[in-house]
Each structure stands twice: as structure tokens, then as C-alpha cells.
Amino acid sequence: MSEADQPTTAFTPRVFSGIQPSGGLTLGNYLGAMKRFVDWQARDIETIYCMVDMHAITVWQDPAALTRQTRELAAGYLASGLDPARSILFNQSQVPEHAQLAWVFNCVARMGWMQRMTQWKDKAGKNQQNASLGLFAYPSLMAADILVYHATHVPVGEDQKQHIELTRDIAIKFNHDYGVDFFPVTEPVIEGAATRVMSLRDGSKKMSKSDPSDASRINLTDDADTIAQKIRKAKTDPEPLPSEAAGLAERPEARNLVNIFAALSEQGVEQVLAEVGGKPFSEFKPMLADLAVAKLSPISSEMARYMQDPAQIDAILRDGAERARAIAEPILHRTYEIVGMVGARV
């Protein structure tokens, strides 16, 4: 039995996650992903965070804008508290093993699996024939992002759950087809009060950087007045806040604002409602606006500071890419060996 065929069920715990540099960062990205990346960094576990620029180009990106947005995302990571000495921070295109493993996974994953992805259906819309092949294969590259590090934990927002399930399917099929126990069956980590931050204008829609209405979202680059104004204008209902979470069940807008408050103040929803239950929105909204400004303003000013020194950002990403490659390269070459590719040097 070669080393590659040995069962390797005991995987070292390792966290991987990524964000697309495809536009501005929203409060949804911050609470659903970045803030939780920082929490994982504080634990005794290796953390690897990526700017997935190759995923971004599955839909058209202006080249200069992509460069700026990648640096801005890196600045957002750093400003939120990610420390390049403790976490590996890099952009995906600089670690070619992602694309190389994705090709192997393209040959493992089935067309039908990809066709079922809701993100594919949403993004390709009615004109699937005109969507890029990359957009269709997107989840296979995402599986490669995760599995090229043998990552065991992937903190994401609710909207990425289906992609992580597909990553698990790819790992299981690869292991089965080749008779190995080589790739871990990765856990999505979807936890906290803000795994699905909703639009401020419509509690049934996800807060998104691509929503045409800027009032629907809080951007990490918004100034204090803009944040306060957007919260003041957020859609609500006429009732005062309930004192228990069950009272939010049929009130999506109220639930969203309470969830945001809970996540920003690092409390549970019940704890928040114990404090604000019975208050009308005219009292709660200014409390939320003050909290959001207090938490987000330091991040946006730090981001602006980092953006003044792109060379520093680029150096951090280069160093991160080197460290990431040191982990990814042997895993890719072991994969090639398992597949039977001559020349694999492991």
C-alpha cells in the first residue's frame, strides 16, 4: 500500500474561508463571515483566509476595479482584526494549486450536481447559454479552495451551505472512486445571530452588494451619517419589539434588526430582547445606529488607512500566498499520485 492509500481520517483541524473581491463589503459579509474569521483566529487552530479573485471573474470584472477591490477586501480583513502573523491571508490566483485541484474535481463532480445549485440558477438567470463556463464550475473551484488545505472547518453565511454540501459530495466521491480516505468531509460552520443578514428595505431578501438599492445595505465604507440614516429609514412594522424571540417569527424586518444588534453587541437574541422588549422602533433604531457606528466606523477608517499603502497590502498577500502554497502543494501532488498521474513527486 503506498502512503497515499493509507487511511488518513485524523485530519488536523484547520479553518479555511474566502470572500469574493467583486464589489464593496457589506454588513452581511462582516457579520456573516469576517467577524467570525476573527473569532476563529483567536482559537488554537490554523486559519487561512482567501480573496477569491478567480471566483470573482466568473462574471465580468473590470481589471482595474478587480485590483482595487482585492486590495480593499484585504484592507477589510486587516481592519476587522485579522493578523497576517496569525492567519494566512492571500489571493486565490497566486496559489495555482487551487485551479489545478479544481480541474481534477471538474472530472469528479457531475453536471447534474452543478445544475442544482441555487446560486448558478440565480446568477445565470434565464440566459444560461450565455453564462460563463466558470460560473457553472464555480462550486468545483470552491471545493478545491477548501480541500487543497484539507480544511476541516469552513465558517460561512447561510447562503453558502449548498456549496459546502457539494464540497462534501466531491470529497466523498473522490475518496470512493479512488478507494482512499484522503480528503476530509468538511463541516460548514454556520453559527451566530447573523448567518443571514437581510436587506434593510425587504426582510425577505438577503443583504447583498449587488442589490441595486444602496439603501438596502450598510457598506463597510459608509460614513457614520450614512449608516445612521440607512438604519433610520430601514423598513419595520408598527408594533413595539417583543420580549421573546418567538415574537419575531412573523416579523422578518424586526427580526433582522434585532439579529444585527445581537451580532454587533455579541449577545444572544434573548438577551437583547430582555433589554429592548416593549420599546418602539423610534427608540430602538437610534440605539442600533449608535452601536453600528461605534463598531463599524473604526473598521472603515482603518480600511482607508490600509488603502493608502497598497505596497504593504501586496507584500502581506505575497507572504500569505507563499505560506499557503507550502500547505497546498504536497496535497495537490498527493492527489495527482492517487489519480495516477506520472511524475507526481511525493
Q: Angle between the 224-232 and 281-307 helix axes, to the nearest 10 degrees? A: 150
Minimal distance, residue 64 CB to ligand TYM, in Å: 20
Sole binder of ligand TYM in the list 137, 156, 228, 303 (CB under 6 A) = 156
The residue whose grid cell reads 485590483 is 67
| Binding segment (CB under 6 A) for ligand TYM, from list 172-180, 194-202, 223-231, 270-278 | 194-202
What does residue 63 show for φ and ψ, rounded to 5 degrees? Answer: -55, -45
- Closest contact distance (angstroms) between CB of 141 and ligand TYM is 7
Q: In 42-152, which ranges are continuous DSSP H helix?
A: 53-56, 63-80, 97-106, 111-115, 118-124, 133-147
Do residues 50 and 145 make contact, with C-beta atoms less than 8 angstroms apart?
yes
Q: Any idea which residues carry the catalytic annotation?
A: 123, 206, 209
- SS3 annotation, 219-266: ECCCCHHHHHHHHHCCCCCCCCCCCCHHHHCCCHHHHHHHHHHHHHHC
C-alpha dist (Å) from residue 78 to 87, 89, 156, 288, 298: 10, 9, 18, 25, 12
CB of 196 to ligand TYM, least distance (A): 5
Q: In this chain, which stretch among 150-158, 263-271, 291-299, 331-339 interacts with ligand TYM, using CB under 6 A?
A: 150-158
Could you say which residues in the range 86-125 bind ligand TYM, by CB under 6 A? Answer: none
Per-residue contact string for residues 128-147; x = within reach of ligand TYM by CB under 6 A: --------------x--xx-
| Nearest CB to ligand TYM, comparing residues 18 and 320 | 18
Q: According to the binding rule CB under 6 A, does residue 295 interact with ligand TYM?
A: no
Q: 220 or 338, CB closer to ligand TYM? A: 220
Binding mask 40-79 for ligand TYM (x = CB under 6 A): ------------x--x------------------------
* Residue number with CB closer to ligand TYM (16 or 182): 16
The SS3 assignment for 50 reads: strand
Listed as own residue / partner, the contacts of 63-67 with beta carbons closer than 8 Å and 24 or more positions apart are: 66/21
Q: Which listed range, 192-200, 226-234, 256-264, 332-340, lies at the site for ligand TYM (CB under 6 A)?
A: 192-200
Of 76-84, 188-196, 283-291, 292-300, which segment contacts ligand TYM by CB under 6 A? 188-196
Q: Which residues pair with 91 in a beta bridge?
A: 51
By the rule CB under 6 A, 18 interacts with ligand TYM: yes
Candidates 79, 197, 263, 321; binder of ligand TYM (CB under 6 A) is 197
Q: Tell me if residue 69 falls in helix, strand or coil.
A: helix
By CB under 6 A, residue 206 contacts ligand TYM? yes
Please give the angle made by the CA atoms of 31, 19 and 144, to the nearest 5 degrees: 130
Distance CA 105, CA 119 (A): 19
Contact positions vs ligand TYM (CB under 6 A): 16-20, 28-29, 32-33, 52, 55, 142, 145-146, 154, 156-157, 159-160, 163, 194-197, 206-207
